[in-house]
Structure 1
Amino acid sequence: MEVGWAATGGDIIDWENSYHSSARQKPGISSPSMTNPADWRRFARRAIEHIEALSL
């Protein structure tokens, strides 16, 4: 359990719109964060997979 939080792409936020909106600003880096993941490796893997899928 993620103590009320969800990994990138696993909740109600419109990640696709948010990601593409920020990408137009050309930030050069994307850094997902979570305050207290139950399993940081799973969180990182899911976040990376989701961000890579949005980039296609």
Structure 2
Amino acid sequence: MREALELAREAAAEGEVPVGAVIVYQDRVIARGRNRREVGKNALCHAELEAIDGACRA
């Protein structure tokens, strides 16, 4: 949870909606993401989608 909150703070610092997401598997963080919708000018750059994408690549 601490890591998700830190990711949310990073997003907020860039003018994004402050959301962070972390995916944990077997007590290990396998993926993380934060909102980048405004910075990336992409409606799909939500924290949870970035985290899911990262988990699929792990």
Q: TM-score, normalised by structure 2?
A: 0.26
Q: Which has the higher strand share?
A: 2
| Larger-gyration structure (1/2) | 1
